[in-house]
Amino acid sequence: MVQTLVASLLAALLQVPPSPAPLPSPTPAASPSPIISPSPVVSPTPAAQLSAQPFVADHLYPGGVLPIAIANSTGPITASIDNPIVTWNIDQNAHTVTLTAGQTLGRAVLTISDGSGQRVLIPVRVAVDAAKILSQTLTLQYTGNPVDPAWLQGIVQRAVSRNVQVQQPGVQAQTTFNLPAALAPGSIGAFDAQVQVPGSDNYYPVNALVNVNLQNVVAQPFAPPLLFYDDDPEHITTEGVLYRGHIDPATPVRLYYYHDDNAQPRDLAVVFSAPSGSSSVQLIDASAGPNIDVMQVGHAVTRDFLSRKPINEGLVVTVAPGSPFIAERLKMQSLNGVAGSIDVHILSGGALDVTVLAVDQKTPDSAIPGLLTQPQLPGDGHHRTGVFNINGYAQDTLAYRVGGDDVSLDYGLHSPPTVEPADGRDFGEYGVWRTLNFAVTNPTGQAVTLYLYEQPMGGPVRSNFSINGALPPVQISCARASERYQIGAPVPAPPGASTIQLQTMTDGGSFYPLEVGLTATPPSPAPPPITAPNGCFPKPQSSPQASPLPTASPFPEPSGR
């Protein structure tokens, strides 16, 4: 029975079950319909932006023409402006707007439109240059050995400035440059000077380089035998010729001028002109002013002339017929004074004329040639004018013996001799170069100390002195009291014979005569302050004030007092 049970189990395990009935295949799903992407919305292509080239009309001069190319326009082009400083012409086929500047200066905005309504705004400016550069190259010739760099800097500065005609009122040209190394006589050099003039709405700024060529010309020192003295009329009351003189090629001259102005502002001009052929002329010019302190003006002239003349430091210019050279043009306000000492030496060519004239400040340089032939203004009756012979004049020697009396000389009281016919006087000896040699004998066998001095005798005076040729000259401030004031440092006198040389000129605006001398007694080291009681212009001393009355007591005084 057990066997039967086992066999039944075994048969059950070994029996292969019948395959299950196949499941019915699912009906295949229909493929989904493809999603159809919507057709992209095509944006309309934007019209190209209306444009103009150039897009700024910023450098138009009166009468100037500027074509403007218009791109991407649709339909006809039109234009309008908010300030009618330009007119225009439109070429619809070429798509251009051509501007023509009028004579009115200023700024505006030009609006250019097309048929689609697009528009472009163009800034417009009509102006002129703030200045004109007359020449891109300048050549300057000068003399001197050695040359003071500060003087040469000023000469170049003035030449570059004169080469600029400033058009915009109220502005000045700014020039910058670096001088080359010092030039010996016969040498040349070159550099660029930058010129800048600011602009405004109506003026374009100017920024330019000017090439400057320098030449130190070889020229021999000279001593003019003639003095042209111009101080009449001293006070300028109207425009016109104040002085004129004729310079022969064989005879150098010195022009000394001194004037002050009345209430009306005006310019004083010193002009050299060639009546026939061209001339090359050397000018050693020491001019000063304008300044209301006329004594300071005269003092500056003497100081500068004593510094420049010994080293032959001057300017060389060419003067051609019809092209006068304006050596000086000085602007004067009410009561301003101007003065100058100018040595003139014609190096080659024909004769020259020199004219000193007062001109209206609005008169351009170009109009001055037409003023040179006008009649000379009448004098003021003092006859401080004329031509004087200074050949060998004011050359003096004084003998001084150590242990003996002081020696001195008064000058500035007399006038140098006139050239026939006598036509004026120069009391004060203005424009005269004075040389005073002290011939010293020292028998003591040892060096001694001596002193040069000045002593005013005619009123307030300022002075300049060159001692033994030393430069710069010694300047003495204003002195009035008749006392001795020391000139420079003490001077050693060695044993035996020696010479002490003193050179000077009288200062315009000062009062003469003046005593100068040599002494072994120390004088006052310097004049007192100008406002001191014994100074040049003493300040009035206030009178002593009475003591103030006692202030009343705020309390009532006791009764019965």
Among residues 535, 500, 529, which one has the least CA distance to residue 516?
500
Please give the pLDDT value at position 39: 52
Among residues 331, 328, 330, which one has the least CA distance to residue 265?
331
Please give the pLDDT value at position 21: 44
Give the mean model confidence (pLDDT) for residues 255-280. Answer: 96
Please give the pLDDT value at position 542: 59
- Domain end, chosen from 168, 185, 216, is at 216
**Enclosing domain of residue 468:** 395-519
- Domain end, chosen from 337, 363, 388, is at 388
Give the mean model confidence (pLDDT) for residues 250-269. Answer: 96
pLDDT tier at 20 (50, 70, 90 boundaries)? very low
Q: How far is CA 463 from CA 97, 257, 303, 554, in A?
A: 72, 18, 8, 62
- Given its phi and psi angles, is residue 459 left (phi above 0), alpha (psi -120 to 50 degrees) or beta? left
Rounded to a whole number of angstroms, the CA Rg of the chain reads 46
Q: How far is CA 544 from CA 31, 507, 533, 548, in A?
A: 131, 38, 16, 12
Please give the pLDDT value at position 30: 45
Residues 251, 353 within the same domain: yes
Which of residues 44 and 96 earns the better pLDDT score? 96
Q: How far is CA 431 from CA 4, 146, 338, 394, in A?
A: 171, 24, 14, 11
Among residues 141, 155, 221, which one has the least CA distance to residue 187?
141
Please give the pLDDT value at position 15: 41
Q: How far is CA 284 from CA 168, 345, 354, 471, in A?
A: 33, 9, 14, 17
pLDDT, tens digit (0-9, with 9 covering 90-100), for 94-111: 999 999 999 999 999 999
Please give the pLDDT value at position 422: 74
pLDDT tier at 62 (50, 70, 90 boundaries)? very high
Residues 400, 341 within the same domain: no
Residues 464, 366 within the same domain: no
For residues 529 and 475, is the Cβ–Cβ distance under 8 A? no
Instruction: State how far the Cα of 152 lies from the Cα of 168, in Å rounded to an integer.
Output: 28
Give the mean model confidence (pLDDT) for residues 140-153. Answer: 96
Instruction: State how far the Cα of 372 lies from the Cα of 502, in Å rounded to an integer.
Output: 40
Residues 246, 369 within the same domain: yes
Please give the pLDDT value at position 540: 77
Give the mean model confidence (pLDDT) for residues 70-82. Answer: 95
CATH of the domain at 476: 2.60.120
pLDDT at 269 over 90: yes
Residues 285, 423 within the same domain: no
Please give the pLDDT value at position 547: 45
Structure tokens at 308: 């420049």
Give the mean model confidence (pLDDT) for residues 107-135. Answer: 96
Is residue 265 a part of any domain in this protein? yes
> How far, in whole angstroms, is CA 330 from its chain's centroid?
12
Is residue 476 a part of any domain in this protein? yes
Residues 259, 148 within the same domain: no
What total of structural domains would you count in the chain?
A: 4
Annotate 170-203 with DSSP letters as a single string.
Answer: T---EEE----SPPPTT-EEEEEEEEEE--BTTE
> How far, in whole angstroms, is CA 130 from its chain's centroid?
17
Share of the chain above pLDDT 70, in %: 88
Give the mean model confidence (pLDDT) for residues 138-167. Answer: 96
Of the listed ranges 1-5, 235-239, 262-266, 449-453, the one predicted with least confidence: 1-5
Which of residues 381 and 499 earns the better pLDDT score? 499
DSSP 339: E
Q: What's the full length of the chain, in residues? A: 561
- Domain end, chosen from 95, 126, 157, is at 126
Share of the chain above pLDDT 90, in %: 85
What is the number of other CB atoms lying within 10 angstroms of the CB of residue 79? 19
Q: Which is it for strands 131-133 and 279-291: parallel, antiparallel or unpaired?
A: unpaired
pLDDT, tens digit (0-9, with 9 covering 90-100), for 342-360: 999 999 999 999 999 999 9
Please give the pLDDT value at position 90: 96
Q: Is the peptide bond before 44 cis (omega within 30 degrees of 0)?
A: no
Is residue 37 a part of any domain in this protein? no
Is residue 432 a part of any domain in this protein? yes
For residues 286 and 301, is the Cβ–Cβ distance under 8 A? yes
Amino acid at 182: A
pLDDT tier at 539 (50, 70, 90 boundaries)? confident
Is residue 10 a part of any domain in this protein? no
Residues 318, 340 within the same domain: yes
For residue 516, give every residue at least 6 positions away whose Cβ sits within 8 Å of its Cβ, in sequence order, or none: 408, 409, 411, 436, 452, 453, 454, 455, 465, 487, 502, 504
Structure tokens at 272: 């050299």
Which of residues 194 and 12 earns the better pLDDT score? 194
pTM of the predicted model as reported, rounded to 2 decimal places:
0.82
Give the mean model confidence (pLDDT) for residues 61-69. Answer: 96
Residues 357, 408 within the same domain: no
pLDDT, tens digit (0-9, with 9 covering 90-100), for 401-415: 999 999 999 999 999
Residue with tokens 């012979």, as numbered in its chain: 389
Residues 340, 421 within the same domain: no
Q: How far is CA 272 from CA 144, 245, 301, in A?
A: 21, 10, 20
Please give the pLDDT value at position 23: 41
Residues 207, 230 within the same domain: no
pLDDT tier at 40 (50, 70, 90 boundaries)? low
CATH of the domain at 173: 2.60.40
For residues 340 and 256, is the Cβ–Cβ distance under 8 A? yes
Q: 3-class SS at 155?
A: helix
CATH of the domain at 116: 2.60.40.10
Residues 329, 407 within the same domain: no
Give the mean model confidence (pLDDT) for residues 134-140. Answer: 97
Residues 362, 402 within the same domain: no
Structure tokens at 264: 């009306």
Please give the pLDDT value at position 192: 97
Is residue 15 a part of any domain in this protein? no
Is residue 2 a part of any domain in this protein? no
pLDDT, tens digit (0-9, with 9 covering 90-100), for 424-482: 999 999 999 999 999 999 999 999 999 999 999 999 999 999 999 999 999 999 999 99
Please give the pLDDT value at position 18: 43
Report the mean per-residue pLDDT for the chain: 89
Is residue 79 a part of any domain in this protein? yes
Give the mean model confidence (pLDDT) for residues 204-218. Answer: 97
